[in-house]
Amino acid sequence: MSEQTLDITQDFLIRGRDYLEQFPGFELVGRQATLKSLTAILMRKRANNVLLVGSGGVGCSAICIGLQESKQKPDTPFDIVSKRFFWLDSDWLFSSGDHNKISEGFEKTLRTLSRTPNSVLVLDDMRDFIEAARNNGSTHLINALMRSVKKKQFQIIMETRDEDLEAVLKCHSDMQESYTMLDISEPDEGLLLDIVTSAAGNRLQPHHKINISAGAISTAIEVTSKYRVRDLGLSRAQPERSLTLLDRALTSYRLDAHAQDPRLDELQSRVYSLEQKLNAAPDSEVQAELAGLNSEIEQINTAWAERQSQIKAIYAELRDGEEAILSLETDLEEQQAKEQRLLEQQAETGEPNERDSTYKSFAARTSAAGYDSEAATAIKQQITRFQAEVDKNRKAFDSLAAQINNQLELTKEHVLAEFSSISGIPVSKLTQDERAKLLHLDENLGNRVFGQSEAVSKLSNQVRVARAGLQSANKPQAAFMFLGPSGVGKTELAKALTAELFDDERALLRFDMSEYMEKHAVAKLIGAPPGYEGYEAGGILTNEMRRNPRRIILFDEIEKAHADIFNVFLQILDDARLTDNRGLTVSFRDAIILMTTNIGTQHFLNADNFSVAKELALEDLDAQYRPEFLARFNGKRNIVCFNTLDLPVIEMIAARDIGKLNKMVQITSPEISIEISDTALTSMCRDHYKPITGARGITGYIEGVIKPEIAHTVLFNPEAAGVITIDYDEANQTVVLQPPKASGAPQAAAG
C-alpha cells in the first residue's frame, strides 16, 4: 500500500480507520460468531492477545478488518469501540535492510503503541515478520514485542496460516501463556454462499463491470468445494477458491466478449442451423430468413467496428492526455526545486545573485508568502486544462465500454468452461447430474468391482442417505468396515467410490496401517505431544482434513495398527471431529470413512457355506475389538463381509485387464490390437487363480508374463500390424503369443 493513499506515520503504523478506507463498501458477512469470539478474547484480563490460525484464503484478514468496521455499529461493546487498532506495515519496516534503521523504527513503533491507550496491533502475517526479522539480523524485535505484551502496554492480534503455525509457536516460549488461539475454519455451505455473493458483488463486479448471475456463484462454490486442482489460486481455502474461479472466469469472458459483439454467437448458431436445413431440402422461407439473419449480422459487425474505432480513438486521446499531465507534473517539480534552490542561495549569501536578481527576489517573496511563482502557476493551469480533457475522455470511454458490458452476464456455463480449462476435467463430467450419478452408483461400482453385490449395495445406499441430508449431523457421511480375504476388492471398492464421487481415484486419502504398529504412531495422525520434536507441525490426518474436509478416507488393514489408534477412530466415528495436538479442531462430517481388515480370512478360504464363514469371521472380529468400536459402524450393519471370488468373476477381471492392455497398446501402436479366446482365458484363470491371493494372482500373471511379451513384440517389430493372439498351452500352463504379421514379411510364432 502506497504512502500516497494511506496515512502512515513514521513509526510504520497504519491506523485502523485508514486501513478500512482501502476497502470501500467492506462488510463482514457470515463471520459474526467468529467476530464475537475475537471480541471476547480482547476483553479478557489474561491471555487477551489473539493468534488467528487458518488456511490461506479462509478470511483471517477480513475478520480483522471486520473488527475495525464493527466500531461503527451501534451494538458493538464500548470496550471494543474504545480500542484503537493499528496495522504494522512490515514490508516498509524491513525495506531498508539496515539493521540500525529497522531497530530504531520498531522502537518508535512500540513507543507509539505504548503511549496510545487501549491500542491493539494487528500483524497480518506473523510468519513473514519472523522471517524478515531473522533475515535482517533483528530477532530481538520478537523479544521486544513479547516484552511489551507481558507488560500489558498494548494487545496484539497475530494472523498465521496453518502451515506456518509451527514457526510462530516456536518464536518465543511465552506464546501459549500470553495468547489465545482462535481457529478459523472454512464456512459451511449456507454461510459460504452469503460470503461469496457479497464479495462478488462488492469486489469483482465493480472491477470487471459485468453482472454475475446467482447460478455462476453457486456453480463456482460447487466445483471448487468438490474438486481440488493443482493451481496456486484454487488450492487456497474457501471462500478464496470460489472468488478466484469467478475472477478468472470473468477475465476469460471479457476477453471473448470484447473481441466481437456478444449477440453474434446466437445469430451464427441460427445461421448454421438454417444452412443445414437448406442443404437437406431447398425452402424459400428458410432462405429468406437466412438472408435476413446475414443482413442483421452484417449490421451488427458494422456497428461493432464503428464502436471499436471510437473506443480506440478516445483511448488514444486519453493516453496522450495522461502522458502530457505526467510530463507537466515533472516540469512542475523541477520548477519548484529550482525556486527552492534560489531561496536557499539567497539565504546563504544574504542577497540575490545579480543575474536574474529581479526574478529571484520575486520568487523569494512569493514563496515566503505561500504563493506559487508565475512559472509554477502557469504549469498548474496547464495541468488543470489537461486534466479536464482527460476526465472528459475517460467519461466517454467508460460510457462506450458500458454499452458493451451492460449486455453481458457471467453464467454457470462460463464458470464451468473456465474450471474445465484449469482442471482438465471435461465439462460433461462437471455438468453430470449429481442425482443421476447417485441413482446409478450401484451399477457403476459393480462394473468395476465384480462379485461383491452386497458391499456395493450397502455402500451406495449409505452414500445416498448422506447426500439426501438424512445422516446425523455429528457423524461422518458413511463409516464401513470391509472384512474378507486379500484380493477380493476391498481397497478397489474404495478407489471406485472415489472415482465416482470425485472423478479421480487419486483423491482417496489412504493410510496403510502397517505403518502405525508402534504406540507412538498415533502422533503421526494427530501430531506429537507438547515438548516432543515436531509438536508444532500437527498430524498427517488432521492436516489433510483441514486442507480438504470432503474426503474419502481408507484405513487399510486396521488389524496391524496399535491399540491406541483405535481411540482416535472412536472419536472420529462417534463425533465426526478430532482435535489435534495443537488444539485445532478438524471436522469429519463431510468425510466417508472406510476400513479394511483381513481378520477371519481363514474362514472364507475353501468355505462351502458363505453364511457360516461370515458368522465365524464376525466372532473373530468380536474377540479382537471392543464392542463400542464395532457398534460405531451403524450397529455392526456396516461391517460387510466380502465373498471369495469364483472362477467366472476371475475371468471377468482378467478380460477387463486384457482390455486395458489393448487400449495401452493402441495408444503407442494404433495398427496393433490384442485378442484372447474364451477358452484360453478360462484355462489361464483356472490354472493361475489361487483363492488366498484373490484377483491379485491373475492380475500379477498378466502384468508379469503377458505384458512383457506384448512389450517385446511392440518394441522390436515396429512395422507389425494386425492382431496379437493370446493362446494358452494347458499342458505347460503357459501363454503363447501369436504376433501380428509384419508388412512384407512372413508371420512368425513366439512362445
Average pLDDT over residues 704-730: 84
Residue 630 lies in a domain: yes
Out of 47-51, 306-310, 669-673, 697-701, pick the least confident.
Answer: 306-310
Q: Which residue has the higher pLDDT, 4 or 711?
A: 711
Same domain, 604 and 696: no
Q: Per-residue pLDDT for 213 more than 90?
A: yes
Q: Would you state the pLDDT for residue 534?
A: 58
> Which of 142, 170, 185 is the endpoint of a domain?
185
The residue range of the domain holding 716 is 647-738
Question: What is the per-residue burial (b if ≥16 Cβ within 10 Å, else e) of 504-534?
Answer: bbebbbebebeebeeeeebbbbbbbeeeeee
Q: Per-residue pLDDT for 559 more than 50?
A: yes
What CATH number is given to the structural domain containing 677?
Answer: 1.10.8.60
**What span, in angstroms and rounded, lies between the C-alpha atoms of 6 and 23?**
12
Same domain, 115 and 80: yes
Same domain, 301 and 361: yes
Contact 113, 153 (CB under 8 A): yes
Which residues face 750 on adjacent strands?
737
Contact 529, 571 (CB under 8 A): no
Indicate the length of the chain as a whole number.
751
Residue 686 lies in a domain: yes
Using CB atoms within 10 A of its CB, is residue 157 exposed (0-12), middle (13-18) or buried (19+)? Answer: buried
Q: Per-residue pLDDT for 745 more than 50?
A: no
Question: What is the per-residue burial (b if ≥16 Cβ within 10 Å, else e) of 131-152?
Answer: ebbeebebeebbeebbebbeee
Same domain, 534 and 397: no
Same domain, 129 and 178: yes
* 131-172 confidence digits (pLDDT tens): 999 888 888 899 999 999 889 999 999 999 888 888 888 888
Out of 77-86, 322-331, 522-531, pick the least confident.
Answer: 522-531
Average pLDDT over residues 111-124: 92
State the total domains in the chain. 4
Q: Which amino acid type is present at position 82?
A: S
What CATH number is given to the structural domain containing 551?
Answer: 3.40.50.300
Q: Per-residue pLDDT for 578 more than 50?
A: yes
Same domain, 632 and 651: no
**What span, in angstroms and rounded, lies between the C-alpha atoms of 542 and 165?**
14
**What span, in angstroms and rounded, lies between the C-alpha atoms of 2 and 24?**
16
Residue 79 lies in a domain: yes
**Residue 566: Cβ within 10 Å count:** 16
Average pLDDT over residues 494-509: 88
Contact 545, 144 (CB under 8 A): no
In degrees and rounded to multiples of 5, residue 660 shows phi and psi of: -60, -40
| Residue 119 neighbours by CB under 8 Å, 6+ apart | 83, 84, 85, 86, 113, 154, 155
> Which of 608, 641, 674 is the endpoint of a domain?
641
Contact 709, 745 (CB under 8 A): no
For residue 313, what are the CA distances in angstroms to 120, 300, 317, 393, 663? 52, 20, 6, 10, 57
Q: Per-residue pLDDT for 620 more than 60?
A: yes
Angle at 27 between CA 24 and CA 29, to 5 degrees: 155
Average pLDDT over residues 185-197: 89
Average pLDDT over residues 250-268: 78
Same domain, 381 and 330: yes
Same domain, 299 and 343: yes
Average pLDDT over residues 587-603: 91
Q: Per-residue pLDDT for 288 more than 90?
A: no
Q: Which residue has the higher pLDDT, 372 or 506?
A: 506
**What span, in angstroms and rounded, lies between the C-alpha atoms of 525 and 534?**
12
Average pLDDT, the chain: 84
Q: Which amino acid type is present at position 153?
A: Q
* 20-47 confidence digits (pLDDT tens): 998 888 888 888 889 999 999 999 888 8
Same domain, 587 and 664: no
* 162-174 confidence digits (pLDDT tens): 888 888 888 888 8
Q: Would you state the pLDDT for residue 746?
A: 41
Q: Would you state the pLDDT for residue 6?
A: 40
Out of 236-240, 354-358, 373-377, pick the least confident.
Answer: 354-358
Residue 218 lies in a domain: no
Residue 397 lies in a domain: yes
Q: Which of 172-181, 214-223, 691-700 has the highest mean pLDDT?
A: 214-223
Q: Is 711 helix (H, G, I), strand (E, B) or coil?
A: helix
> Which of 405, 424, 458 is the endpoint of a domain?
405
**Residue 416: Cβ within 10 Å count:** 21
Q: Per-residue pLDDT for 744 more than 50?
A: no
Same domain, 627 and 658: no
Give the largest Cα separation in the chain, rounded: 122
Cα distance between the two ends of the chain: 74
Which residues face 51 on adjacent strands?
158, 181
Residue 102's H or E segment, with its range, is helix 99-115
Q: Would you state the pLDDT for residue 741?
A: 59
* 442-451 confidence digits (pLDDT tens): 999 999 999 8
Q: Which residue has the higher pLDDT, 675 or 506?
A: 675
Q: Is 109 helix (H, G, I), strand (E, B) or coil?
A: helix
Rounded to two decimals, the pTM is 0.71
Q: Would you state the pLDDT for residue 176?
A: 79
Same domain, 338 and 395: yes
Same domain, 107 and 158: yes
